[in-house]
């Protein structure tokens, strides 16, 4: 299973395309979203091998969404939660030397935090180990997009019924 651009994997439910992640958000979502970190038009594929490797890590595999996380995901929708993820990536991970690196991602309190621990995208050390992006260098846009694709991919695998 790969994390493709949802516009291809999940056809829009209406001709207006409102179920499409990459369609313009309705005004209420646009207002709540960070304007500093817009979602990319497409996301890279995530190799199946990553999910296999993560499943073999007892530490990573024990992370799961709890009832509160699932309720939040249902309420907010995947698009909004993905915007939060893009914001966390930009502010907490992308700098060459992030603030409090290694401790910048809480264990709980947001579904994206859980997804980050589950996927080795919680800090620059884990990102280097699991995804090969060297510490000490600012993350490039393609790397940020990949991390976002991994987080979204995990959320969709964890809660396949989630909607945009
Ligand atoms: Zn970490």
Rg (CA), the chain: 15
Domain that holds residue 96: 44-158
**Any domain includes 30:** no
**Any domain includes 1:** no
**Any domain includes 67:** yes
**Any domain includes 13:** no
d(CA 73, CA 81): 7
pLDDT, residue 36, reads: 55
- How many whole angstroms from 17 Cα to the centroid of ligand 1? 37
Task: List the chain pLDDT tens, one digit each, 164 residues.
Answer: 444 444 444 444 444 444 444 444 444 444 444 445 778 889 999 999 999 999 999 999 999 999 999 999 999 999 999 999 999 999 999 999 999 999 999 999 999 999 999 999 999 999 999 999 999 999 999 999 999 999 999 999 999 888 88
The answer to whether residues 26 and 120 touch, using CB atoms and an 8 Å cutoff, is no
**How many domains, in total, are found in the chain?**
1
- How many whole angstroms from 51 Cα to the centroid of ligand 1? 17
**Any domain includes 94:** yes
- How many whole angstroms from 22 Cα to the centroid of ligand 1? 29
pLDDT, residue 9, reads: 45
- How many whole angstroms from 112 Cα to the centroid of ligand 1? 13
pTM of the shown model = 0.78
- How many whole angstroms from 73 Cα to the centroid of ligand 1? 23
- How many whole angstroms from 127 Cα to the centroid of ligand 1? 7
Alpha helices in 89-134 (DSSP H): 111-119, 124-131
**Any domain includes 20:** no
- How many whole angstroms from 60 Cα to the centroid of ligand 1? 10
Take residue 152 and report the two structure tokens written for it: 């979204």
- How many whole angstroms from 101 Cα to the centroid of ligand 1? 8
**Any domain includes 130:** yes
**Any domain includes 118:** yes
């Amino acid at each position: 299973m790969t994390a493709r651009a949802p516009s291809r994997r999940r056809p829009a439910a209406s001709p207006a395309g409102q179920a499409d992640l990459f369609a313009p958000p309705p005004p209420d979502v646009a207002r709540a979203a960070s304007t500093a970190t817009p979602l990319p038009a497409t996301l890279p594929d995530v190799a199946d091998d990553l999910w296999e490797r993560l499943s073999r890590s007892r530490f990573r595999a024990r992370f799961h969404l709890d009832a509160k996380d699932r309720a939040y995901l249902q309420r907010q929708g995947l698009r909004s939660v993905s915007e939060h993820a893009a914001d966390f990536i930009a502010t907490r991970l992308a700098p060459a030397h992030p603030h409090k690196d290694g401790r910048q991602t809480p264990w709980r309190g947001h579904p994206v935090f859980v997804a980050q621990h589950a996927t080795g995208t919680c800090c620059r050390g884990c990102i280097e180990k699991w995804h090969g992006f060297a510490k000490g260098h600012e993350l490039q846009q393609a790397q940020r997009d990949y991390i976002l694709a991994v987080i979204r991919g995990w959320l969709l695998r964890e809660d396949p019924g989630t909607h945009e």
